[in-house]
Chain A
Amino acid sequence: MHGDPVLTLMIFIPLVGMAVVLALPSRAHDAIRWTSTLFSAPPLLLAVRVLHGFRPDAGFQLVHRGPWIDAFDIEYFVGVDGISITMVVLTALLCFLCMIASFGIEKGVKGYYALFLLLETGMLGVFCALDFFLFFVFWEVMLLPMYFLIGIWGGPRREYAAIKFFLYTLLGSVLMLVTILYLYFASDPHSFDMTQLSRTAHVTINVQLLLWLALFIGFAIKIPAFPFHTWLPDAHVEAPTAISVILAGVLLKMGTYGILRINYGILPAATLAPAWHGRSLAFWLLAALGTFNIVYGALAAMAQTDLKKLVAYSSISHMGYVMLGMAAFTPQGINGAVLQMFNHGTVTAMLFLLVGVIYDRAHHRDIAGFGGLASIMPVYTGVTGLAFFAAMGLPGLSAFISEALVLLGAWQNYPLLTVIGASAVVLTAGYLLWTLQRMFLGKPNEKYLTLPEINARELFTLVPLGAIVIFLGIYPTPILDLQSPALVRLNDHVTQAAARTAGTERVAVAR
């Protein structure tokens, strides 16, 4: 093992926390809650430290690697670059806040927190892993705690939602496993090194397209892209609040992160090579499906009567922008996409936390069942307003910057899709404003006149996110500076590979 162990520490401290939590007596609820929160703080502090010393131009850094399984050249290999750093910070932040947001859990507290800490290890591992095998292991390690967290602590249809989530994701990951194995045996020397595979793996373009597709399905299930999205409304609605936040805030990003890191990074030639009707896979699967996601998610959200389901569908819609930006593959587009990953993480986390706040008080989430909440819970209304306006993409708030960048970038390559995607902003404003009106304005519902205002603990989980949303809306440069150089490198990598493939094909035709 050599290199800087800071990421390793960050990944495994929650695992240590899990062991400690398991050793505590089951009845010591408060001790378990505080211990877990305590163990989710170091990853956040370490993430801030990593952020502080991060050099955007340097590529992969804070690398920590060493041999693991010699016979297969599997390494323990972690590191961060401009693409993963924001995700690592987001994960550590949301996990810390969600530990606090979970204080209301009363059933099986020990199991809940132990699984949550295991989940955090898995998530941080996925974003840091640079060995494909290690990546896969972390990817799967995440599944189990998620299954139990939804299945035990979820809503009425939790069992169905949990197994659906589990099966969908596993289906995606077995496709990934085939690809991993294929790339391993196609590379010379055999390796699982994600940073080298695009150079060392010798794969013909047709096979690359096939592998790209297999990987894409795996990641699309996570995003979730239409038509693989049906697990999401179930899982998000049934999951307990904090877990919905993690699902929407972090897990969805793994899909798009995986596409950037693996589909783009390891199979660059297949990304932009013409695949069908002269258009690339990136076009068909990311741009077209992304636009569809935007419109479909917004329309579906509009039809919901359950507030949580509405937020869940709005996630599908917002992840569509990420896909569109990635497909555009212009500097603005891709920067916007990665920024949108972060922004959606913070905004949607706020939304789910806010849904949790009202659900804890009213014990239902039926939008039509509320009314005039603004006069009963003014602070809550204010924060919700901020989150809703951010989700709407109002200028001055973070999501505006990223969505604008995505549309700006996409315009250059896909004008028609961009127009459709941009028009959907109207739909988004429509369902969010309509919801605001129905829940917060009008005549207060007699039943809820005595609802208590949002409390300090709940505010504590929301304020940091709100601050980030406002700050990045006004001044997004720090985060753009972090990610841009890495994205420029990725852009060059992919376009050059695509050009090379096109070149060889032309040569082949000329002969």
Chain B
Amino acid sequence: MGTTESLAYFHPELALAAAILAVIFVDLALTGRAGRQASEWPGNLALAGVGAALVLTRGLRPLDVRGAWLFNGMIVLDAFSVFFKVLLGLALLAVVWMSLSSREIRAQPNEGEYYALLLSSGLGMFLMASAGTLLMAYLSLEFVSLTSYVLTGFLRHNRRSGEAALKYLIYGGVASGAMIYGMSWVFGLTGAMDYAGIARGVAALDPASRGALFLALVLVLAGFGYKIASVPFHMWAPDVYTGAPIPVTAFLAVGSKAAGFALLLRFFHFGVGHEGPAPAVAQVPIPQLASIICVATMTLGNLAALSQTNMKRLLAYSSIAHAGYALLGFVVFADKGVEALLFYLVAYYLMNLGAFWVVMLIANATGREDLDGYRGLAWRGGAAPALALGVFLFSLAGLPPLAGFVGKFNVFAAGVQAQLYVLVVIGLLNSVISLYYYARVVKTMFLDDPTADDPALRFGANELGPVGVLSLATLVLGVNFNWLLRWVEVAGRVFTG
């Protein structure tokens, strides 16, 4: 499909782009005035833009199961990309909303820039989810990375924020360098940039070159692994999550990771046919490699989280562990694997975003992010946020009847069906380990009595509203997940059908 024609199927991205420009212009118009007050405008505009993008996403109808190729094959529009557009759009919406009530962001003089960057990052993620060629994949991933670096360092006078941004940049530079090097090998081996062409090239590949292909794929995996924060490319995550403003942390944990998974699934399915259309690749041990990464990621994430005392850092390691659980779906891939992974991302969105939201509320109220700041929270006016955080954390630990449990149930069911018993057992034992540190937070909030130094807190209904909605959604999804199973089946059919 040509460029002009494609625009009709590109409305959400166009809406986001328009919102970015509007935010920049409004910000420009507001700056320069003497005694300028912090303005609500950029934030509200950003919120409206994301809302419009979400509404427009509803209007997208993939033309058929195989999808439509927009912009001369650069962008794919299929049920899979629509799924991610909705998920990422919701993540963006929640993060903008969070930012509007975050004290860290509100205090800054350059709020307009922040929203412009946030939306740009979101736009990049939309493109990541629907990239149809290596070129698009690389460009969108870099776009997201660059904007994320700046967002991480947004708190200019905060040294941790600056340090985090620098670390993120350095790790990101290495990972993306490795990735583009790997992509050049893939191009060299197959002579194609688009996934279909790569798949054909791989199928026709001479067996002697399989080693080269494997090496190329490992290098590409480095870039993707960096985005989803899987071992051994996870090192940036704890520092970046701790240093970045909380809404940005939430966005990285939820949005960036989901977009990374979208890229990973699409590349490995259509590009090199991991369990996909190109059987020649069967000898390349990607599933084996993926299962090693999967086990290492969840185990390391959980073990490292055990001793954390900073909430953001704890959630950073927990999010590494969760990337590991989700990767189990990637290892299975065929059958229910993709569906389980997509399902997991939705559950993860609800509970992780919710957890970060509560962390932000507490940071707003007390300025503290360490676990001691949560002591006896339930007994000094914070019963509602403590309860909500309890729901999110137990959901992350995978206890029924919460969303995190059904997410894990799906992933592990896919694993058992694919007879990956060892992986499933390791995953389940990991969730027992994870309970320890999640319960430690709950213990601090409920079981410990507050000391005299801990301030009494008050939370308004407008602060608690979104958290309440998210925790209720976590509970409802844990009890009734028929609808989501159907939805991920439609999205997953792109791969299996």
Which A residues fall within an 8 A CB radius of B? 69-72, 108, 136-137, 140-141, 143-144, 147-148, 151-152, 158-159, 162-163, 166-167, 170-171, 174-175, 177-178, 181-182, 184-185
Q: Can you list 5 A-B pairs, Cβ within 8 angstroms, ordered by A?
A: A136-B400, A137-B401, A151-B447, A159-B443, A159-B448
Beta-carbon contacts of B387-399 to A below 8 Å, as 1s and 0s? Answer: 0000000100001
The residue on B at minimum CB distance from A210 is B421
Contact of B490 with A by CB under 8 A = no
Separation of A178 and B425 alpha carbons in the complex (Å):
7
Q: A136-B400, A167-B432, A174-B431 are in contact. List 20 more A-B contacts (CB 8 A).
A: A70-B482, A70-B485, A71-B482, A71-B485, A71-B486, A72-B413, A108-B379, A148-B447, A151-B446, A163-B440, A170-B399, A170-B432, A171-B432, A174-B432, A177-B409, A177-B428, A178-B412, A178-B425, A178-B428, A181-B424
Are A137 and B400 in touch, CB under 8 angstroms? yes
Which residues of A lie under 8 Å from residue B440 when comparing CB positions? 163
- The verdict on B267 contacting chain A, using a C-beta distance below 8 Å, is no
Cβ of A67 to closest chain B Cβ, rounded Å: 9
Majority secondary structure, A binding face: helix
Name which residue of chain A comes closest to B486, CB basis: A71
Interface residue from B412, B439, B486 paired with A177 (Cβ < 8 Å): B412
Contact B416 A182 (CB under 8 A): yes
Is B25 an interface residue, CB under 8 A from the partner? Answer: no
Q: How far is the CA of A181 from the CA of B336 in the complex (A)?
A: 14
Residues of B within 8 A of A71 (CB): 482, 485-486, 489
Nearest residue in B to A72 (C-beta to C-beta)? B413
Q: Which of B400-437 contact A (CB under 8 A)?
A: 400-401, 405, 409, 412-413, 416-417, 421, 424-425, 428-429, 431-432, 435-436
Q: Roughly how many angstroms separate A348 CA and B413 CA in the complex, as a whole number? A: 40
> Which chain A residues lie closer than 8 Å to B448 at the CB level?
159
Provide the residues of chain B in CB contact with A69, threshold 8 Å. 481-482, 485
Q: Are A178 and B421 in contact (CB under 8 A)?
A: yes
A152–B421 alpha-carbon span in the complex (Å): 38
Shortest Cβ distance from residue B419 to the other chain A in the assembled complex, whole angstroms: 9
How far apart are B211's CB and chain A's nearest CB, in angstroms?
Answer: 36
Residues of A within 8 A of B435 (CB): 166-167, 170
Q: For B399, B417, B429, B481, which residue has the most chain A Cβ atoms within 10 angstroms?
A: B399
Shortest beta-carbon distance, A231 to chain B, in Å? Answer: 14
* Nearest B-chain residue to A176, judged by Cβ: B428
Q: How far is the CA of A506 from the CA of B400 in the complex (A)?
A: 44
Chain B residue at minimal CB-CB distance from A70: B482
Is there contact, CB below 8 Å, between A163 and B436? yes
| Partner among A140, A171, A185 whose Cβ is within 8 Å of the Cβ of B405 | A140
Instruction: Name the residue of chain B whose CB is nearest to the CB of A171.
Output: B432
Q: Are A174 and B428 in contact (CB under 8 A)?
A: yes
A-B interface pairs (CB < 8 A), number: 78
CB distance from B376 to the nearest CB of A (A): 11
Are B412 and A147 in contact (CB-based, < 8 A)?
Answer: no
The 5 closest A-B pairs by CB, nearest first: A174-B428, A181-B416, A71-B485, A137-B400, A151-B447
Q: Which residue on A lies nearest to B379, using beta carbons?
A: A108
Task: List residues of chain B with CB within 8 A of the CB of A137.
Answer: 400-401
- Give the complex CA separation of A137 and B401 in angstroms: 6
Q: When the two chains form their complex, are residues B446 and A181 in contact, meaning their CB atoms are under 8 A apart?
A: no
A37 to B432 Cα, complex, angstroms: 34
Residues of B within 8 A of A70 (CB): 482, 485
A181 touches B405 (CB 8 A): no
The answer for the CA separation of A358 and B424 in the assembled complex, in Å, is 49
CB distance from B297 to the nearest CB of A (A): 19
Least CB distance from A405 to B in Å reads 37
Closest chain B CB from A215 CB (angstroms):
14
Smallest Cβ-Cβ distance to B448: which chain A residue: A159
Residue numbers in A under 8 Å from B417 (CB-CB): 185
| Complex interface: chain A residues within 8 A of B428 (CB) | 174-175, 177-178
- Residues of A contacting B400 in the complex (Cβ-Cβ under 8 angstroms): 136-137, 140-141
- Cα–Cα distance between A348 and B379 once the two chains are bound (Å): 34
The answer to whether A174 and B429 have CB atoms under 8 Å apart is yes
- For B489, the chain A residues whose CB sits under 8 A away are 71
| B391 and chain A: residue at smallest CB distance | A144
A147 to B448, CA, bound (A): 14
> In the complex, which of the residues B379, B413, B439, B486 contacts A163, with contact meaning CB atoms closer than 8 Å?
B439
Q: Please give me the residue from chain A that is nearest to B417 by CB atom.
A: A185
Q: Which residues of B contact A184 (CB under 8 A)?
A: 413, 416
| A-side contacts of B486, CB under 8 Å | 71
Q: What is the CA–CA distance of A209 and B400 in the complex, to the nearest angstrom?
A: 27
The reply to whether B394 and A151 form a contact with Cβ atoms under 8 Å apart is no
- In the assembled complex, how far is the CB of residue A151 from the closest CB belonging to chain B, in whole angstroms? 4
A148 to B435, CA, bound (A): 14
Instruction: Find B439's partner among A136, A141, A147, A178 (CB 8 Å cutoff).
Output: A147
Query: From A67, which residue of chain B is reached at the shortest CB distance?
Result: B482
Bound-complex Cα distance A141 to B448 (A) = 23
Assess whether A140 is in contact with B399, with CB atoms less than 8 Å apart.
yes
Residues of A within 8 A of B443 (CB): 151, 159, 162-163
Q: Which residues of A contact B421 (CB under 8 A)?
A: 178, 182
Least CB distance, B118 to chain A, in whole angstroms:
36
Least CB distance from A153 to B in Å reads: 10
Are B447 and A141 in contact, with the CB atoms below 8 A? no
Task: A136 to B409: give the CA distance in the assembly, Å.
Answer: 11
Pick from A69, A147, A158, A177 the residue with the most CB of B within 10 Å: A177
Q: A148 to B413, alpha carbons, bound, how many Å?
A: 30
- What's the minimum C-beta distance from B34 to chain A, rounded to whole angstroms? 51
Contacts of B401 in A (CB 8 A): 137, 140-141
| Best-buried of A108, A175, A181 by chain B (most CB within 10 Å) | A181
Q: Which of B379, B399, B413, B482 contacts A144 (CB 8 A)?
A: B399
Which residue from A108, A166, A178 sits with its C-beta under 8 Å from B424?
A178
In the complex, what residue of chain B is closest to A138 when comparing beta carbons? B400
Closest to A143 in B: B399
What's the minimum C-beta distance from B407 to chain A, rounded to whole angstroms? 13
Q: Measured between C-beta atoms, what is the minimum distance from B437 to chain A in Å? A: 11
**Nearest CB in chain B: distance from A239 CB, A:** 13
Chain A residues with CB under 8 Å of B412's CB are: 177-178, 181
A69 to B489 Cα, complex, angstroms: 14
- A383 to chain B minimum Cβ distance, whole angstroms, is 33
Alpha-carbon separation in the docked complex, A268 to B400 (Å)? 28
Q: Which of B424-480 contact A (CB under 8 A)?
A: 424-425, 428-429, 431-432, 435-436, 439-440, 443, 446-448
- For B431, give the chain A residue with the smallest CB separation: A174
- Tell which of B416, B431, B432, B447 touches A162, judged by Cβ atoms closer than 8 Å: B447
Q: How far is the CA of A140 from the CA of B401 in the complex (A)?
A: 8
Smallest beta-carbon distance A132→chain B, Å: 12
Which of B416, B431, B440, B486 has the most chain A CB within a 10 Å cutoff? B416
CB proximity of A420 to chain B, nearest CB, Å = 35
* Cα separation A184 to B415 with both chains bound (whole Å): 13
Q: Shortest Cβ distance from B393 into chain A, in angstroms? A: 11
Rounded to whole angstroms, the CA-CA distance of A167 and B431 in the bound complex is 10
